[in-house]
Structure 1
Amino acid sequence: MPSPAADFETQLELFRTEAESAIQYFYAWDTVRAVAAKDKEVFRLLNQAPLFWNTNLGALQTSTLVALGRVFDPDPKNHSITRLLSVAHANLDIFSKDSLAARKSSADADEWLPEYLQIAYEPNGNDFRRLKRHVADRRKIYETNYRPLRHKVFAHRGVATCVEVGELFAKTNIREMQQLLVFLGRLHEVLWQLYFNGRKPTLAPARFSVKRILEQPSPNAKHGKLQERLVHETKAFLAAHAKDA
């Protein structure tokens, strides 16, 4: 049986891969649509192989919802955001300064580690209760607006008619999905920084709108948050190939 620290590290890494996968799938899908709607050359490029692009966009849409389902899986036995926070909350000692010191140990640690530990943050139960409330708010959004679509259309065929499918899609919202996905990235960042660097788990704001990212790209978009890198790469790829089409 793994130690609490090893279990947390495993759960944190699994959460990262699922959250980042969902972000990549959705932002690739959304950026292709957004760029094609504004750029006639890109639109013509996509129309050279419409079946191919519709297949890929459909796969990205499906993959987003499947990944989200794994993230918000309520079963504590499965690898999910539920299990990650449960492991963290039940084992506060893995975030202690002594534990952090062991993780930061190096040949020259005596020169800088004592001062570093003075400002390191040790979380308490309230920190994780607060994070769990944030997750509960997002879980409610997922379960109300996206889980029915995932379960009845993408993962299983629970509805048959176009009207029924349309009713499920009508509950969704692009902006809401962007915020939901970027929250997952923000949550991973604060948990990683808390565990490996002893930083207080405060959720920092992050840009989420594809429209805004396209209109006002960050100077360091290539090295920015995952969603910004994905938007930048997708737009650059489409623009480069549209010129040759």
Structure 2
Amino acid sequence: MGITRKGVLEAMDRTPTFWNTVLSSLQHSTFITLGRIFGTGRHDFNKLLRSIQDNKVMFTKAAFSERWENNPDKGQLGNYLQTYLKHVYEPSQQDFDDLVAHFQKQRDQYESIYRDIRHHFGHRLYIRNEEIEKLFNAVNIVELEKFCVNLEALWDALWNQYHNGRGPMLPLKRKRYSTRNILKGKTSPYKTPPSNAQYIYEAQTALKMLEKGKPKKPKLR
């Protein structure tokens, strides 16, 4: 992250309990969230896909026009609707079938790599270090980053298809996912960065502040 690794580690070593707690919390929330997406709860992605399949009419140009008519900013847009409608993409049944197939590939990857970790976090009161280390050793961090970013890209594709009529939904728009590539990329002050990039930028800033400050080890009372 452009920071002297030795300096950061020295600073973090002064408060190891805090950083281990942060790491554990991030791991826990990541895999519990993935479990909710791919599980069988009230808001899992399968229910969303079934809802889309049962209500495909909401992606038609007619439905888009109706939503436009209810837009509070309609008056400012004048007669732009008819021009915009020429570029609205209306998904076919093949588009929806491809969407289901794409998500199934995501599910297969989750079940083969990440599901057991999620079950350990979600159903075990106590986890032995050697157990969780064995599961984590099978995880490639860069692939996990890519996996999560692809889920966000899938959501973005659905959102844009519904709200903006932009399609087709697949293939997904490519997004940077590795920390190294995100930090190498250019940022724009006029554009909000993707959520994963925002986390990385703020983590980099926090670590720079930590290294610069090099706080003294707190005294236990």
TM-score bracket relative to the smaller structure: 0.7 to 0.9
The equivalences for 1:89-238 within 5 A come to 89-105=53-69, 106-151=74-119, 153-157=120-124, 162-200=129-167, 201-202=169-170, 203-214=172-183, 216-220=184-188, 223-238=192-207
Q: Which of 3, 7, 10 lines up with 1:44 in the alignment?
A: 10
Q: After superposition, give the CA deviation of every residue in 1:114-166 in whole Å (9 maximum; x if it has no partner).
A: 11011101112211211111111111111111111111x21122996554433
Aligned CA distance change for structure 1 residues 67 and 208 (closer, same or farther; 3 Å): same
Give the whole-Å Cα distance in 2 for the aligned partners of 1:160 and 1:94. Answer: 46
Compute the displacement of 1:35 (Å). 7.3
What is the distance in 2 between the residues matched to 1:35 and 1:234? 12
Are 1:56 and 2:56 matched, yes or no? Answer: no
- Name the CA distance, whole Å, in 2 between partners of 1:82 and 1:103: 25
Give the AA of the match of 1:100.
F
Q: Which letter maps to 1:223?
A: T
Report the structure number with the largest CA radius of gyration. Answer: 2
CA-based RMSD of the aligned residues comes to 2.2
Choose which of 61, 66, 80 in structure 1 pairs with 2:44: 80
CA distance, structure 2, for counterparts of residue 158 and residue 149 of structure 1: 13
Look up the equivalent residue of 1:54 and give its one-letter code. Answer: N
Q: Deviation at 1:172? A: 1.6
SS at match of 1:148: helix
Deviations 1:204-226 (A, max 9, x none): 11111112223x13222872211
Stretch deviating more after TM superposition (225-234 or 157-166)? 157-166
Measured in 2, the distance between the counterparts of 1:125 and 1:182 equals 26
Distance 1:129 1:158, change over 3 A: farther
Q: Could you list the runs of 5+ residues in structure 2 that have no partner in the other structure?
A: 215-221
Partner Cα distance (2:5, 2:198) in 1:
20
Report the CA distance shift for 1:108/1:211 in structure 2 as closer, same or farther (over 3 A). closer
With structure 1 as the length reference, what TM-score do the two structures score?
Answer: 0.77
Letter in 1 for 2:166: R
Q: TM-score, length-normalised on structure 2?
A: 0.85
Query: Relative to total residues, which structure has the larger helix share, 1 or 2?
Result: 1
Secondary structure at the aligned position of 2:210 is classed as helix
Partner of 1:6: none
Alpha-carbon distance between aligned partners in 2 of 1:159 and 1:91, rounded to the nearest angstrom: 43
